[in-house]
Amino acid sequence: MLERFRWSTPLGLVAVLVCCLGSEVRAETDCTPGRDLLPTLDASARAAIDAEATAQANGKGRLWRIEKPGQAASHLFGTLHLTDARVTRLPDSARAAFDAADEIVIESTELSDPDRIAATLMARPDLMSLPRGRVVGDYLPEGDRAELARRLDAAGTPAASVQTLQPWFLATSLMMPACEQARLAEGEQILDLALADAALRQGKTLSGLESAQEQLEALASLPLETQAEMLMSTLSHIDIMPDLFETMTQLYLAGRIAAIVPAVEHLAPSGTTPEGAAEVWQAFDERIVRRRNHLMAERMEPILARGNAFIAVGAQHLIGDEGLVALLRATGWTVTRADGP
């Protein structure tokens, strides 16, 4: 489940939060690039990953064309919320669609305004903080408390300074590889924000589908026990996080979107028990993936009616029976892959 969390969570929001709270959660200094782990798997494991990916509707491709008779076509592009130059450099088909669009849409335009996010957190501290009197160690086994403290100390963050933050934030900030954190600290932008900046420079209309508060509310709605499970899973796999992110990146660049989750799950099984992991995923899938997909699809309708838009959201939101491609088709739009067969 953690890998679904890693892939589906609004990591753009987390990246901004990591920068905003840099005095509390600091990047490690050792930036060692990861390696793609797929080639290390045997043929049967790769076949199982491919089979699971094939079972997902609309599981290949990053760029989709959306159209109806009599209306200007728009495009839907799946992003990876990272600063990696291989990710932020759009493929030619997506670049052409972006340049031709009148309106650029990302998940939340508030990601480019850290002051507004900080104001949201000041008004709603419950979105990131634990209930009064509780600390994150209250939700972890004793051994994991010690491991969390050790990992935070290694990153230059005293455990006491973040002990009242909800586990979801600690999990997502710790899972972010050192190279990614270093680029964020240097001011480099994730793909979504780079697209937003390019839109403004070119004089295009920039719109968002969600507010930062809505994204935070979705994350904070996860039961604290579920968040703790995510954090424990992160701690158990933290040493291979650079490799997991590189594996995800390679699959993303190849357009094999639906293969990302099964691949990383195979490489880093999550959950203390299979039953516990299933319960966590059920809660996460409902709150972070499916609810947001339906909300995004609803808010896209007036944008698509205007036409000639380029809509960029996390690629995981495109796939599956309740992914954006399927939901838009269900409301009468013709949606076809625009970056390959």
pLDDT (0 to 100) of residue 12: 52
CA atoms within 13 A on the CB side of 212: 24
Q: According to the model, what pLDDT value does residue 14 have? A: 53
Residue 305 within a domain? yes
**Per-residue DSSP letters for 215-237?**
HHHHHHTS-HHHHHHHHHHHHHH
Question: Does a structural domain hold residue 43?
Answer: no
- The residue written with tokens 């064309």 in the block is 65
**Amino acid 6: pLDDT:** 41
Sign, Cα dihedral of 34, 40, 43, 45: negative
Percent of the chain at pLDDT > 90 equals 56
pLDDT of residue 256: 97
pLDDT tens readout for residues 182-218: 888 888 999 999 999 999 999 999 999 999 899 889 8
Half-sphere exposure of 297 (CA within 13 A, CB side): 23
Residue 281 lies in a domain: yes
Domain that holds residue 149: 2-24+53-337
Query: Is there a domain that residue 29 lies in?
Result: no
Number of domains, the chain:
1
Alpha-carbon distance values, 271 to 2, 10, 120, 236, 276 (Å): 8, 21, 32, 10, 6
Q: What pLDDT, on a 0 to 100 scale, did the predictor assign at position 15?
A: 53
Instruction: State both tokens at 95.
Output: 């670049």
Please report, in angstroms and rounded to a whole number, the separation of the first and last CA atoms in the chain. Answer: 30
Domain assignment present for residue 38? The answer is no
Residue 173 within any structural domain of the chain: yes
Q: Give how far Cα 238 sits from Cα of 13, 94, 151, 212, Å.
A: 21, 33, 9, 27
Q: With beta carbons less than 8 A apart as the criterion, state whether 308 and 65 touch.
A: no
| 33 in a structural domain | no
Mean pLDDT, consecutive 10-residue segments, the chain of 341 residues?
A: 44 51 47 92 96 96 97 96 95 98 96 83 90 94 87 79 90 84 88 96 97 90 86 84 94 96 79 62 76 96 98 94 97 95 64
